[in-house]
A and B are shown apart, each in its own frame.
Chain A
Amino acid sequence: MTVESTAARKPRRSAGTKKSPSTKPELVQLLTPEGKRVKHAENAVYDKYVADITPEDLRGLYRDMVLTRRFDAEATSLQRQGELGLWASLLGQEAAQIGSGRALRDDDYVFPTYREHGVAWCRGVDPTNLLGMFRGVNNGGWDPNSNNFQLYTIVIGSQTLHATGYAMGVAKDGTDSAVIAYFGDGASSQGDVAEAFTFSAVYNAPVVFFCQNNQWAISEPTEKQTRVPLYQRAQGFGFPGVRVDGNDVLACLAVTKWALERARSGEGPTLVEAYTYRMGAHTTSDDPTRYRGDEERLAWEAKDPILRLRQYLESANHADEGFFAELEAESEALGRRVREAVRAMPDPDHFAIFENAYADGHALVDEERAQFAAYQASFADAEGGK
């Protein structure tokens, strides 16, 4: 009793300052930050998925990352110029997105957050279509079914349940397609995500939960969300979790292929934690100097996903000067195309407000639309009369 009451009076340590257990979790890495190909025995299970990768494939991954970064930079500057209202940059997360995105088959289905521009690229979604919602001309901008790439989801975590349900449907249909849900370290705290883990485990749904742990949820570091490495959460739900070097495109490709194969062969869900870093601000509205220093970013700069693959391509003689020069030109052309497309993007018709509120129509929407039309016409009359 005495002991207890003393304990109760002792000042507790602030939740924010206590460190996570220090056991260093393993990280699947196939390319070191210096661009060296590593083959560990314990990585063999993943390594086999990239064992027969060709120089051409590698150049393809490199090209994807470079073009995605170029597109992203263009979007950031379009926001600065006032052409977009907001932009959520993926800078630093190219390997996680291209590696996982290129692991997918066409018939697989993707459930993204708002930052999956690299995955969208892999799915063949025209990058200019991603910009509509950031410009404020629509709330989506592409047909989710034409590339099996769902609309961006802003409400954190929701899409993990949609992915799970979609995967339940895939399983019922008896096909071997797989589903992948993207989410962030911050999202891992949402109840929806825990419920997605539960449902997917219980129904053995063919879904891959791909968490990009970019170390930050706006201003909150990952320690504010979890006391265990995120990939370890899967175990408690009854499926495997793996941490992969999220700046290593080869490892991301291999681990995602492994997880997708598990899904296809009826082994159920997998959690992949891609350990990476948000190099830029949360969005163009954010000011990261308020909550994080430069040292951290500089340390991650040394692990840059693009640089690392370039070093590997060069040292292995898989790409020559001509390739890089051509890519540079392609990159510039993409930037130009995006710029022009955005500037040419028309404002939506006013009546778009009322469109598609319902699939089967709704009397009140019709009535309000008619009132709106009459109201707008009254200005035309007034102006015409002047």
Chain B
Amino acid sequence: MAEKMALAKAVNESLRKALEADPKVLIMGEDVGKLGGVFRVTDGLQKDFGEERVIDTPLAESGIVGTAIGLALRGYRPVVEIQFDGFVFPAYDQIVTQLAKMHARSLGKVKLPVVVRIPYGGGIGAVEHHSESPEALFAHVAGLKIVSPSNSSDAYWMMQQAIQSDDPVIFFEPKRRYWDKAEVNTEAIPGPLHKAQVVRAGTDLTLAAYGPMVKLCQEVADAAAEEGRSLEVLDLRSVSPLDFDSIQASVEKTRRLVVVHEAPVFFGSGAEIAARITERCFYHLEAPVLRVGGYHAPYPPARLEEEYLPGLDRVLDAVDRALAY
């Protein structure tokens, strides 16, 4: 059934389907019950599945992830919510030292199918700690898979696949796109979770992005088209693993690559992409791989975030610079 729904609603529907399909699936987090989460992503789920399966936890992120690990060891499939990006850090220890490593340490005997949902990114005019993009801090850790949908359909299907994954998945939800509506076909067979998708074909340059920046890149491509430039937009969807084959295929065609993310550029996912694509496509590249992202500064107060975040002009500027080579 195809239906237009907001991205937040798509996650909600996907969680609902998972709760229906598998009695081992649990939802845990702060305010996920009656309130339905601060973004209403879990709206109505506690009412329909009860407090045993949709669990309002104490206010303690290390506790949330740590107990999710225990529940997973016992055969459950917890989907935990971290209320905002900036509040994942009390759980960082559990995620990095335990969640990521237990499968390896047990020589494969133990699986931890835990999904950690994190609404992330800026652009909503929030106060401190509510607008960050910490994906690189997790991508650096082996044992974790990291994905970020850019649209409702992917939000729905990628959540299904994340819950089915036997590896822990950090599921970064682009909070500024929560209210964006798009078609979701709940019967379509989805492609692989960690595969990038060309969302707009082009010939002159590739824009690679994930999560909230995909929509921006599509707008950039529109603007560039008016100037007669044909940009390809690649929705990476997964940050770990990264689909280098798809990026390579695109770059071999367009010969230029600009990577866009909200997270700081310094040691960001764009750096990894730039390095690997330079290795893979050295003789195809007409320009260095450029990156557009946040600065090496704390996320600024709301009235400065427009200056801090990659916007249409900043990405176009990078496109111009890449095309000037």
Q: Which residues of A contact B (CB under 8 A)?
A: 14-17, 85-86, 114, 132-139, 154-157, 186-187, 189-192, 217-220, 224-225, 285-286, 290-291, 347-348, 350, 352-354, 357, 362, 364-365, 368, 372, 375, 378-379
Contact = CB atoms under 8 A, between A and B. Distances in A.
A313 B27 CA distance: 51
Interface string B9-53: 000000000000000000000110111101000000000001110
A368 B308 CA distance: 11
- Main secondary structure, interface of A, reads loop
A224 B56 contact: yes
A220 B31 contact: yes
A372 B33 CA distance: 44
Interface in B55-83: 56-60, 62-63
Contacts, number: 126
B90 A285 contact: no
- Main secondary structure, interface of B, reads loop
A364 B59 contact: no
B93 to A, nearest CB: 9
Interface in B282-325: 295-298, 300-304, 307-308, 313-314, 317
Nearest to A379: B313
Given A136-B301, A220-B31, A353-B304, A365 B296 contact: yes
Nearest to B91: A191
B48 to A, nearest CB: 15
B124 to A, nearest CB: 9
A336 B297 CA distance: 36
A186 B307 CA distance: 35
Chain B, interface residues (CB within 8 Å), range: 35 or more
B118 to A, nearest CB: 15
B190 to A, nearest CB: 32
Nearest to B43: A290
A186 B59 CA distance: 6
Interface stretch (B126-134, B152-160, B162-170, B172-180): B126-134
Nearest to A86: B127
Given A154-B129, A220-B31, A190 B304 contact: no
A350 B301 contact: no
Contact of B296 (A15, A139, A352, A368): A368
B90 A191 contact: yes
